[in-house]
Amino acid sequence: MVSSLFWVILLCNSFLFVDCLNGEGQALLLFNQSIWQDPDGSLSNWNSSDENPCFWNGITCRDGSVVSISIPKKGLVGSIPSSFGSLSSLRHINLRNNKLYGSLPVELFYAQGLQSLVFSGNLLSGSVPTEIGKLKYLQILDLSDNSFNGSMPDSLLQCRRLKTLDLGHNNFTSSLPVRFGSSFGALEKLNLSYNRFNGSLPGDIGNLSSLQETVDLSHNRFSGLIPPGLGNVPEKVYIDLTYNNLSGPIPQNGALVNRGPTAFIGNLGLCGPPLKNQCPSDGSSSIPSSFPSFPGNSPPVTSNGDDNGRRKGHRSWSTRIVIAIVVADVIGIGLMGLLFFYCYLRLVSWKNKNEGRSLDKGQKGRRACMCFRKDESETQSENVEQFDLVPLDVQVGFDLDELLKASAFVLGKSGIGIVYKVVLEDGLTLAVRRLGEGGSQRFKEFQTEVEAIGKLRHPNIVILRAYYWSVDEKLLIYDYVPNGNLVAAIHGKSGMVPFSPLSWHLRLKIMKGIAKGLAYLHEFSPKKYVHGDLKPSNVLLGLDMEPYISDFGVGRLANIAGGSPALQSNRMTSEKLQSQPSEISVNLAMNAGSCYQAPEALKVLKPSQKWDVYSYGVILLELISGRSPMIVLGTSEMDLVRWVQFCIEEKKPLSEILDPFLAEEPEREDEMVAVLKIALACVQTNPERRPYMRHVSDALDRLIING
């Protein structure tokens, strides 16, 4: 008896304490033992003396069983043990951005309840075991940024609940499995970029009907035609096919129609819109040749067309003619050499004179010979094509390649382009507006305008961070504002249940912020700008409901870029997603934009600051009343300004004008009346009687301070 007790005590005090820790804890300790570098001490409280591992760092338990292992970005150096597979209740593993090496153990996939496997950003290698097909409940598989190789196992198609498949930045080879598109009906994110996948794209890839954000197939070796079915994926999905070996015409259907050329660059064999390479009409090979077509490239045509005729044609060249051609070529090459040598001397001289000076932004990247006259070189710069991202802010830390491979999905569409939400790999979120694809003659004008807009800095104006210009693509890159626009905040958006109305405090905050932003544009910005298209859909809201005025100058930039025939975007039918109130009919929604236009806008083409004041007054009325800009009265319609004026003339009670939700704050009624008076002053028919925005802003400041 004493001897038995001695051995129990000895085992419980041994190095591993294996008899004092349950089986799951012992399995996890094997991982601890495989880690030989833990710079942050992330596993320091993994003690074998504990009864179970449920209180260890990175471990989550449910009903006493381990369900999650999450230790990301801790610099762990080591390998993945096979013991993880013995954790029968394990659902989630997240070990991203460490320094784990080796391969995925086959035993890992014995934990068949796994729902997410995230190993991105490590040093893992080898092939993915076919046993992965046992994970019937797997929803997230992220193996990106490792060194995995081999093919994508066919067994992966058995994971039909998969929502995220990210294999980017590895060394995977071979073609995609048959029925790839038909097997992943729940897939929302697909990233296969920067691998060596080859073969043709699956014809059923368009069956991925649940996709969101970006389908990134770039930087691989896919070949053949783009399957027309790819256009069947949701239109909001951005399809990135750059840098493959694809060929033939680009299908013009569905989600492929609105893609710019940046989605297809690096595929020399592709042709047709939106690329400039025209597809051959005779049905011959669609691969464009980079070799120039000269008459001498084809064999001489003879009367009989046989080899003898061709040899006769060659004999018809006399020796003297051949010598003359050779001599002329030599002389021409010599003259070209002298010219280039002269240009080189001029360039060296110019560099010496300007040594120590920094190139301005407009000259960056130019390859000037300096042999042209000044007026000639300036004329050429008018038609220059930029093929790189131009930052407008010193804090821009991303480049064009990062932007193109980022996750993106459509925020909205309008007459002046499509707006995408773009999430870079480091988590930075941006808003990217794609302007028209036409226009190649007005780069300098576009550059001047966009750089002036990029200098605007105010807490209530969306910042333009960078732009991209080429003949076929123009992009504007802004800060992303995460809380939707003012339309949705006032009226809710379709399908948003329940809807939480804005409190009076938040409405005042929004009114004040918009006023400050407009006052800055009108009087304190470098050129005293006019917005010209102010409306609630152009007022975005931050996380703290701080308003940001957006789309300033976009109409003019779209005109310069050649993508918009209209001078003002508010004269076009808006198709912006998440911007139309659920209770407004389609016809009213089409007319709503004109409700924010000042009356004189129908007669005078040039916008004025008083236009903005009027638009701001309509927004105030909308915030006060909670009503739409167009109101239905029986079978007729009336804009909001006339309706409020009608209520006042008819001496209707204030409660009929105010948003019913504001009735819960009767103590703020005096402030509401004061704001109503400011709004009515802003919507005066005579523009000269409207106040300046700085006066409006000051009045609101005093109101809030007094409140």
Q: What are the tens digits of pLDDT across the range 359-395?
A: 333 333 333 333 333 333 333 334 444 556 788 877 7
The whole-angstrom separation of Cα 522 and Cα 694 is 9
Percentage of the chain lying above the pLDDT 70 cut: 75
pLDDT (tens digit, 9 = 90+) per residue, 90-109?
A: 999 999 999 999 999 999 99
pLDDT surpasses 60 at 454? yes
> Using an 8 Å Cβ cutoff, are 530 and 611 in contact?
yes
- pLDDT of 568 reads 35
Amino acid at 111: A
Residue 285 has pLDDT above 60, yes or no: no
Token pair 């997603």 is at which residue? Answer: 577
Q: With a cut of 60, say whether residue 185 has pLDDT above it.
A: yes
User: Which residues are CB-neighbours of 525 under 8 A, at least 6 positions away?
Assistant: 456, 458
Residue 11 pLDDT > 80:
no
How large is the average pLDDT for residues 394-403? 78
Answer yes or no: is pLDDT of 269 > 50. Answer: yes
Farthest CA pair distance, the chain: 118
pLDDT at 312 over 70: no
Least trusted range by pLDDT, from 208-222, 371-385, 641-655: 371-385
Is pLDDT at 457 greater than 60 in this prediction? yes
Average pLDDT over residues 515-533: 88
Q: What span, in angstroms and rounded, lies between the C-alpha atoms of 706 and 148?
A: 65
Q: Which two tokens stand for residue 323?
A: 């010598």
Q: Is the pLDDT of residue 173 over 50?
A: yes
pLDDT digits (tens, 9 = 90+) for 528-576: 888 888 999 999 999 889 999 998 888 778 777 665 433 333 332 233 3
The SS3 of residue 148 is strand
- The helix or strand, by DSSP H or E, that contains position 1, with its residue range, turns out to be none
Query: For residue 431, what are the β-bridge partners?
Result: 421, 478
**Whether the model pTM is above 0.75:** no
Q: What is the pLDDT of residue 321?
A: 55
* Spatial distance between the Cα atoms of 646 and 460, rounded to a whole number of angstroms: 33
For tokens 């390479």, the residue is: 277
Residue 151 backbone class (left: φ over 0; alpha: ψ -120 to 50; beta: rest):
beta
pLDDT classification of 439: cutoffs 50, 70, 90: low
Q: What is the pLDDT of residues 458-501, one digit of tens each?
A: 999 999 988 888 777 788 899 899 888 999 899 887 655 567 88
Cα 500 from Cα 7, distance rounded (Å): 66
Least confident of 4-13, 169-178, 214-223, 505-514: 4-13
Q: How many whole angstroms separate alpha carbon 619 and alpha carbon 596?
A: 8
Residue 188's identity, in one-letter code, is E
Percent of the chain with pLDDT over 90: 35
Residues tagged active-site: 533
CA atoms within 13 A on the CB side of 643: 21
Check whether 192 has a pLDDT greater than 80.
yes
H-helix or E-strand containing 123? strand 123-126
Residue 434: the pLDDT is 85
User: What is the reported pLDDT for 706?
Assistant: 45
pLDDT of residue 104: 94
Cβ atoms of 523 and 694 closer than 8 Å:
yes
pLDDT(147) > 90: yes
pLDDT at position 255, please?
Answer: 78
3-state secondary structure of 491: helix
Instruction: For residue 181, give the DSSP letter.
Output: H
pLDDT over 50 at 660, yes or no: yes
Structure tokens at 45: 């409280």
At 466, list the tokens.
């960078």
**Is the CB of residue 216 less than 8 Å from the CB of residue 242?**
no
Considering the chain, what is the average pLDDT of its residues?
A: 77
